[in-house]
Amino acid sequence: MLQVLLSGLAIGAIYGLVGMGFAIAFYVTRVINFAEGQLLMVGVMVAAWLARTGLDPWLAVVVGIAAAAAVGAVTYLVAVRPVLAFDRFSFAWLVSTLGVALILENGAALIWGPTSRSFPALLTGTSVHVGSATLTLQEVVTIGLAVVVAIAFELYRRKTLFGKLGMAIAHDPEMATALGANTAVVAAAAFALAGAFAGLAGVLIGPITYSNPYLGDTYGIAGFVALMIGGTARPAAAMVGGLLLGILGEAANKLINTQASDWFPFVVVVVILLVLPEGLFSLVGPLRRLVLRRSRRTSPVRVAG
Amino acid sequence: MSAAAPALHIAGLHAGYGRYDVLRGVDLDVGPGEAVGLLGPNGAGKTTLLRSIMGLVKHRRGVLSVAGTDLLRLPAHRIARGHAGLVPEGRRLFVDQPIEDNLLLGALHLRRHRDRVAELLESVYDLFPVLRDLRRRPAGALSGGQQQMVAIGRMLMSDPKVLLLDEPSLGLAPIAIGEVAEALEALREQGRSILVVEQRVDLVLRMCDRIYVLAGGEVALEERASALGDDGRALIDAYLG
Amino acid sequence: MTGAISLPRASKPALFVLALAGYAVFAYWAAHSTLYIQGLVLVAAVFGMLAVSLDLVAGMVGLYSLGHAGLFAIGAYATTILYNDHHWNLFVILPVCLAGVGAVGLLLGAISLRVSGLYFAITTFVFTLVLTVFASDFKFTGGYGGLIGPIFPEFPSWLHWAGTSVTWACLIALLLATLVVLAIRVSPLYPVLLAIRDAEPFAAAAGAPTAAVRVGVFGLSAAIAGGAGWMFAFQGIVSPSQFSWQVSVNILVMVILGGINTTIGPILGAVFITVFPAQVNINPFWQEVLFGALFVAVIVAFPSGFVGLLRLVWRHALRRLGAGRARVERAVETPAAEAVVAPERVNGAAPAAPAIECHGIVFRYGSGPLVLNHVDFTVRRATIHGLIGPNGSGKSTLVDLISGRLRPVAGSIEIEGTPVDRQGVTTRVRHGVARTFQSAVLVDELSARQNVQVGLYTRVPRLGPRSLAWPVIPSARRDSRALRERVDESLSFVGARSWAPVRVSDVPHGIAQLTQLAAASAWGPRTLILDEPLAGLSPKEVEHAASILTKLKASGVSIVLIEHQPRFVFALCDEVTVLAAGEVVATGPAASVRENEQVREVYLGQ
């Protein structure tokens, strides 16, 4: 049981990172970047390629993440900004970001070939025992890093001026403009950060999947489902969604049968969405209001307008 | 007033959203240190005028400058960086974020000048002492009057050359209206250049040196506030017919 | 229909016949070509149907469904299983497919409509995802390998000259799907659908049951997708990978890339996406990269898709030919001499009962402060009753309560003596109540004429079902003509007749206000609630609008007039009620309210 939980967390952390990538870009621009999964692939492919050319594997991994971030920003500038400038409410970005996904996936296959290639193993050999369960060092690092990154992001969003600006743009982009915010720059930065999250997920999963131009599909969809579970109100919720998805998949795999991991998590997601159509975290708002109202009764501040 | 360059100079301004203009050749000036009131029926184009000054209305032509800087050539986010500041209708605060964050977001372009930001923040808290105590509270949890103070403070944080306020008394309780009006009078004392859209004739007469009435996208009347009588009977009569 | 440049009306049927003939020639050619091309035509036609069906919901009512691959899968699997295992006749399966998948669509729509926008897309997306996962895991669906589909019956011998039967079948199916959607597009339901999409309060105030219409349209769209599934079964193999969520996304791409809410755009998109990869024979990776680059390039250059590109070319060609119409200068005209729109005479209601009677209305939003505090409000028949007060005094809220958009916390409302407290917006419309909204809630992309048509929703019997075959139903043609006359009369009545064909996004504000007034009064309501109809009008336009209201009153309509400019109110109204901070300050004959000191104080502020 513990083994299921921990293995689930390890794979769920990857889903969560990709899900947060979707969420961060969506948070600022209200656009789902359908090339998000392909950004994970870019991270993996670039890192693997650089390692093969003899670059230090650690450096290769860092460049891989940076490459994913750069491609993310370019995606915004080339495929998203022009269509939003025409009509902020159209869904034309669906077509253009899918186009980018096609270009990235097949471009990678053109450059590096369509087959799986090796990925530099950075953390090998050691396994970690937690109670009755055993995890590889790779898995432990993945879980740890994902949780740290999610918390760090949330702190960054709330505590730095740039993070606060992101929140402001998410809430009311026009008002943010009227306060001097260059929303295009912030949006491009959000896409770059979303790319970096996917790239990080890529180099963490790379040692297990190897480098392959078609990785984007699998992890893209899982990340998207993680986003749905968490809802779009706060990006870090997608990490919780990802972890939950990972555990559900692993549990279905072990406890039902191997095929069940394909459908069981989704059935759970359907149930969650039917009950809470705006994601698991749509509960947070009403709960907080309930608590706040109780605390306000004793506070001297007037609430009524 | 005629001697110095006007703080805000508008001449023959046309602006709108679709093919037809909402503003049809507006001429309006705000002198340095002058408080100007803008009255008119709903739909006359008052809000559109303020939004045009801020660059939030895309289609604009005519003359529009603040202290000699041509605003028609600047994108909206550049106008907001010290040229003009807006308190929008309905306040539009970032309600989930603390008051202090709302205020700091007003000073985005000054982020490299920490001392200046601290100084501005201090001046806002001096103007609205109640906000200092509440600065960690989410803006949405405040009363309407306090929210309006935050909106005014947020605008002041950008250190604008001309202050634009859209219906600052709208939806406020009488006590809160009094507080907001006092704050605006204090700003006028400081020698700020102010353009305020307001429906409450009494407030406009109390706060402003000069008054424009906008109707159908054009200036229908321009008059010194003192010429309208102490209680503004003349203007009220014009309203009630 | 609403574009500034169009061909003379007479040439439209001719063009239509020409297009049909061209299509028949193409079908004949396709039915005699190689198996490879026939396979391609089948797939393209099936995806054409899917794109057309998705455009019906996405384009016309704004529901971006990702459930269409799932609905498509149900059709294809049901056909294959019913034929293979239960040996049903293929032409019995077809109606079963249409009805069954349509019913699934109604259910899915009803469940998913709890959410809107992105969340609607997500819920329907999960539907597709789960269906395909089950299809790959269950035995009776053949698992990952899928099932072998039925073979389409050959033509009888006297039709052998026509070529391959299945090619004709799929092209006819696509044609039928397109014609059904086209019928809706030219029917009076179309403006109503767009109003539901863009201006829901307007549609509801016109008496359209917006949620039911949405679900109904989704059901129809699902039925077409089910039909596409039936057709697809003849393609050979039916397997889960053909109905994955990516297929759902692809169908949406076809719609957007081709041109959303257009007749041929979705088909162009479907043909491009199915034929391009099959016909461009270069290195497969280069081909996909090129494909992706075309997505980006087309949508960035033409955000409205291929149809946007075609329109540009078309306009260019027309300009070359010098067929561009000269711009007509329009202005507000003198309104028609008499009130042509008489209200329906009441039968049964006691003549003494007031038009509107509100007792002790209390209202607040959620747990917020009181917006209305024990408001009594009575409007006598055939009078103009002014409702004035400063912004935020509760005028619009009171009107929303009367029209049924909001429910009071306490108090009761009667319309012509009938209590309506338990009735929704659409039912109250049937009591003869019409209303307009502050700052003109209209459908921007429709003409003034089409917007007024929305207001006549309740005047067309069984509009929903009849719209599916609108152009060929004789009674519908009569209705269309009558509707058009009524709309034009109504527009003449407000003096905006010459603006009838112009898109609302291109008319001045005053005309938009008058169009709204025309839409609200066109069907002959007995009570008319106008929320700031004079806002933003020039003094001349105000005078014009006032004369219209006086004429409406003369014809027996009771009018509630919310207004901000007291000067016009006192001149125009018989009685006036003044609200301030949610309470009635004064009410009574206009002259006495005007002299009321308290009222002057409300406007003075203290």
Establish if B1 belongs to a structural domain: no
Q: Which residue has the tokens 């996004």?
A: C505
Question: Looking at the structure, do residues C86 and C216 belong to the same domain, yes or no?
Answer: yes
In contact, B5 and B30? CB cutoff 8 Å: no
Expressed as residue numbers, the domain containing C425 is: 353-432+525-606
Establish if C148 belongs to a structural domain: yes
How far apart are the two ends of chain B, measured CA to CA in Å? 33
Amino acid at C12: K
Beta partners for residue B212, in sequence order:
B38, B222
> Which residue in C232, C214, C212 sits closest to C97, CA to CA?
C232
Nearest to B43 among C536, C603, C606 (CB): C536
Cβ count within 10 A of residue C555? 15
Structure tokens at B143: 């009363």
Q: Which residue has the tokens 């990785």?
A: A215
CA-nearest residue of chain C to B24? C538
Chosen from A94, A256, A274, A293 to mutate, greatest number of chain C CBs within 10 A: A94
Domain ranges for chain A, please list them: 2-296
The pLDDT tens digits of the residues spanning A62-100 come to 999 999 999 999 999 999 999 988 877 778 898 999 999
Look at residue C313 and give its three-state secondary structure: helix
Identify the domain boundary among C499, C523, C547.
C523
Q: Hey, are the CB atoms on C291 and A102 less than 8 Å from each other?
A: yes
| pLDDT, position C439 | 72
The pLDDT tens digits of the residues spanning C535-581 come to 777 777 888 888 999 999 998 999 999 987 677 788 889 999 998 88
Establish if B60 belongs to a structural domain: yes
Nearest to A90 among C137, C303, C368 (CB): C303
Q: How many helices (H) and strands (E) does chain A have?
A: 13, 2
Beta partners for residue C531, in sequence order:
C562
Expressed as residue numbers, the domain containing B70 is: 8-240
Establish if C329 belongs to a structural domain: no
Q: How many whole angstroms separate alpha carbon C49 and alpha carbon C232? A: 11
Nearest to A172 among B92, B143, B158 (CB): B92
> Which residue in C196, C156, C220, C235 sits closest to C446, CA to CA?
C196
Identify the domain boundary among C279, C313, C345.
C279
Question: Looking at the structure, do residues C447 and C407 belong to the same domain, yes or no?
Answer: no
Question: Looking at the structure, do residues C264 and C304 belong to the same domain, yes or no?
Answer: no
Mean of the per-residue pLDDT values for chain C?
Answer: 87
> Which residue in C216, C210, C180 sits closest to C195, CA to CA?
C210
CATH number of the domain that C193 lies in?
A: 1.10.3470
Nearest to C567 among B44, B171, B241 (CB): B241
Question: Looking at the structure, do residues C82 and C229 belong to the same domain, yes or no?
Answer: yes
Label residue C334 by pLDDT band (50, 70, 90). low
Is a pLDDT exceeding 60 seen at residue A305? no
Question: Looking at the structure, do residues C316 and C366 belong to the same domain, yes or no?
Answer: no
Q: Hey, are the CB atoms on B141 and A183 less than 8 Å from each other?
A: no
Q: Hey, are the CB atoms on B42 and C508 less than 8 Å from each other?
A: no
Query: String of b and e for A143-178 (b: at least 16 CB within 10 Å)?
Result: beebbebbeebbeebeeeeebbbbbbbbebbebbbb
* Residues of A with Cβ-Cβ distance to B76 under 8 angstroms: 177-178
Is a pLDDT exceeding 70 seen at residue A285? no
DSSP-derived secondary structure for C220-243: HHHHHHHHHHHHHGGGSEE-GGGG
| pLDDT, position C116 | 67
Label residue B19 by pLDDT band (50, 70, 90). low
Architecture of the structural domain at A2-296: Orthogonal Bundle (1.10)
Cβ count within 10 A of residue C292? 23
Cβ-proximal residues to A156 (8 Å cutoff; 6+ apart), any chain: A162, A163
Establish if B2 belongs to a structural domain: no
- Of all residues in chain C, the percent with pLDDT exceeding 90 is 56
Label residue C339 by pLDDT band (50, 70, 90). very low
* Residues of A with Cβ-Cβ distance to C262 under 8 angstroms: none
Q: Hey, are the CB atoms on B20 and C508 less than 8 Å from each other?
A: yes
Provide the shortest C-alpha distance from residue B227 to chain A (in Å). 35
The pLDDT tens digits of the residues spanning C4-48 come to 445 555 678 899 999 999 999 999 999 999 999 999 999 999 999
Number of domains comprising chain C? 4
In contact, B155 and B79? CB cutoff 8 Å: no
Provide the shortest C-alpha distance from residue C143 to chain B (in Å). 49
Establish if B118 belongs to a structural domain: yes
In contact, A33 and A224? CB cutoff 8 Å: no
Q: How many whole angstroms separate alpha carbon A62 and alpha carbon A30? A: 28
Establish if C347 belongs to a structural domain: no
Question: Looking at the structure, do residues C249 and C396 belong to the same domain, yes or no?
Answer: no
Q: Is C362 on the interface with B (CB under 8 A)?
A: no
Q: At what angle do helices A161-171 and A183-209 cross, to 10 degrees?
A: 100
Q: What is the CA radius of gyration of chain C?
A: 28
Is a pLDDT exceeding 50 seen at residue A300? no
Most confident of A19-28, C296-305, C454-463: A19-28
| pLDDT, position B36 | 96
Q: Hey, are the CB atoms on B95 and A171 less than 8 Å from each other?
A: yes
CATH number of the domain that B178 lies in?
A: 3.40.50.300
Chosen from C68, C107, C198, C300 to mutate, greatest number of chain A CBs within 10 A: C300
- Of all residues in chain C, the percent with pLDDT exceeding 70 is 91
- Of all residues in chain A, the percent with pLDDT exceeding 90 is 60
Q: How many whole angstroms separate alpha carbon C379 and alpha carbon A198? A: 64
Is a pLDDT exceeding 70 seen at residue A233? yes
CATH number of the domain that C507 lies in?
A: 3.40.50.300
Is a pLDDT exceeding 80 seen at residue A273? no
Identify the domain boundary among C523, C557, C579.
C523
Establish if B65 belongs to a structural domain: yes
Q: How many whole angstroms separate alpha carbon B79 and alpha carbon B66? A: 9
In contact, C437 and C201? CB cutoff 8 Å: yes
CA-nearest residue of chain B to A233? B96
Establish if C496 belongs to a structural domain: yes
Establish if B135 belongs to a structural domain: yes
* Residues of A with Cβ-Cβ distance to C582 under 8 angstroms: none
Give the pairing of strands B162-166 and B193-197: parallel
Q: Hey, are the CB atoms on B41 and C392 less than 8 Å from each other?
A: no
Chains that touch C (3 or more CB pairs under 8 A): A, B
Is a pLDDT exceeding 50 seen at residue C472? yes
Backbone phi and psi for residue C586, each to the nearest 5 degrees, phi listed first: -155, 150
Chains that touch A (3 or more CB pairs under 8 A): B, C
In contact, C491 and C500? CB cutoff 8 Å: yes
Low-confidence winner among A278-282, B150-154, C244-248, C329-333 (lowest mean pLDDT): C329-333
Q: Hey, are the CB atoms on A174 and B134 less than 8 Å from each other?
A: no
* Residues of B with Cβ-Cβ distance to C598 under 8 angstroms: none
In contact, C336 and C288? CB cutoff 8 Å: no
| pLDDT, position B28 | 96
Q: Hey, are the CB atoms on A292 and B97 less than 8 Å from each other?
A: no
Question: Looking at the structure, do residues C358 and C237 belong to the same domain, yes or no?
Answer: no
Question: Looking at the structure, do residues C212 and C317 belong to the same domain, yes or no?
Answer: no
Q: How many whole angstroms separate alpha carbon A213 and alpha carbon A42? A: 8
Cβ-proximal residues to B213 (8 Å cutoff; 6+ apart), any chain: B38, B39, B40, B219, B220, B221, B222
Structure tokens at C566: 């007291």
Question: Looking at the structure, do residues C394 and C499 belong to the same domain, yes or no?
Answer: no
Task: Tell me what the mean pLDDT of segment C165-192 comes to.
Answer: 96
CA–CA–CA angle B179, B182, B187 (5° rounding): 130
